[in-house]
Structure 1
Amino acid sequence: MKKKSMYITSLMLALFLTVTACGNNNDNSAADTNEGQADSTNENAETERTLTDAMGHEVTVPAEPQSVIASYLEDYLVALDITPAAQWSVADGATVQGYLQDSLADVPTIPYDLPLETVTSFEPDLIIMDSAEMVEGNKYDQYSRIAPTYVVGTEQNNDWREELQKIGEVFGKEDEAAKVLEEYNQKVEETKEGLKASINDESIAAIWLVGNTFYIVNDALSSGDVLYNDLGVTPPNVVQEISDNSTANWSEISLEKLAELDADHIFLINSDGNGADALQDDIWQNIPAVKNGNIYEYAADDSSWLYTGPIANTKMLEDIKESLIK
């Protein structure tokens, strides 16, 4: 995807809830000689690294960060086998990135807007921010007083591949990041070939149902990026029109536009449950994909379809393969 918004997604998830109710240890003792202490200091200096972040800050990164706060970047950390000190959440921890919980189930939560006192309570030795928007005003100075703070991108939505590579650089895991990208690109090609053989040029839409209202994601973000950019799938006319005319990451589909949705296949991320009134409406029932039974439904709380990153996107590829490739 390559455009991704932590803020929009957090609002979407909050709405879902509303409507659905090892460090660099110094082994020198006090008895060490001055020479030994100097050797240790030099060793630390060699292992710490100073990097320039997206905003031009020179950030001294610990050799082996032990307590990392990287809200909404947990997907990237897990892909690189890094466990954060706390994980992104909405509504006092009630909602987390469910698809990551195999790796993060025991990790405490932190509010998505990263209150300073809460961040401080985790005693981080490194803070990573997704975008410049997260540290606007004097927030960067405040966070950097707590721990070295590295900003990954300047935009609200940054290319996820570039983000993965930058985070790999921060942790000295450039090779691991390159391997993750290589494996992802291979899955993309395999899935693309399978789709060509299975549905040829039939169209696909990903739709969210929240509070009896339907939403679609921009064609360059999250599932839109996976479907239309990575896999080269044909976007339905309505999806293309809304993406072309809206700057929002998530857009409500009016009943008028829903009636024009000519999708051959729909991935439905359903927050309302099977009994939702919107799913019984004639407008929904007359969409080609619905009439033909080409609906592939996922619960909103544990699927990866709301998110972006190497793990989220890989899981979407797996869902697409399971649903459409025989």
Structure 2
Amino acid sequence: MANIHDVAKLAGVSVATVSRVLNNHPYVKADKAAAVREAIKKTGYTQNINAIHLKRGKTCLIGIVIPFLDHPYFSQLANGIAKAVSNTDFKIVIFQTNYNQDKEIDALNMLKSKQIDSLIFCSRRVSLNIIKEYNSSGKIVLFEDVDIEGISCSYVNHYDCFKDALEFLFESNHTRIGICISRRKGTSSIQREKAFRDFYKSKNLDLLERDIYTGCLYLEDGAKLAQRLYKSGDCPSALLVTNDQVAAGLLTTFNDLGWSVPEDVAIIGFDNQQISKALHLTTIDIPLYSIGQLLVEQALLSETTKHEIDLEIVKRKTV
């Protein structure tokens, strides 16, 4: 494999002149530049990008830590990130982790070893204490509410938006409400469950622990839960659901089983995905595509920034 010295020898110029031509330096004589380009063509020389990045102290790579790509919530977020990056000189490196902590730490170690310039966490399992250990390694951006010096974030106030949705259901005459969440120890699930418990306490209602449904992420999870609730005959009058996929599974299965929505059970989803529009699901709108773009903007800034994302309830036909 040819190197820069081979090119210089064939072109009859110095290594420094070859370097100037490669970097489009304006002060190189035309005949020497032509000789260098001809030598590059003959030798098949290609620059070592890693060496260039090492010299410049910049890789032009942004790492994206994301648990799944086959879920609309995360795919919309990833699409927003990809679009924003496409308008820059940067490229993205995707770490699909399935919430595997070791894979998340692998991404952090790549930041530490300067193989990427910055790292965006779309969701995580690794603790904030571990992330803080890498704070000086490069720019870190989190899609959650944190107050850590040097770490930027954009976030959704899951507590407030769930509380607002619960109030809306209460005003619609629902006093037994169930919630569906994904990972009980996940940051957003913790906030949502707290809002649920605080709401029941504020209304002096009796909370039934069995009305908290966990492990809900995909459409089929919603379908299975609907079948379970139908068979048991023990169902809240309304369900506030972790995302529109699960809500769609609930809605379509309830309909197949002969239950009417919202007459027999009301449903509120989360995300405002295309499926919610098609099924006329009442949901909470979260602009994931725009959030993805915002996360990239933060990753490219040298200063630390924090943004709260405004959400709203989209009222359709399931409440």
TM-score range normalised by the length of the shorter chain = 0.3 to 0.5
State which structure, 1 or 2, has the greater radius of gyration over its C-alpha atoms.
2
Tell me: higher relative CO, structure 1 or 2? Use CA pairs within 8 A at least 6 residues apart. Answer: 1
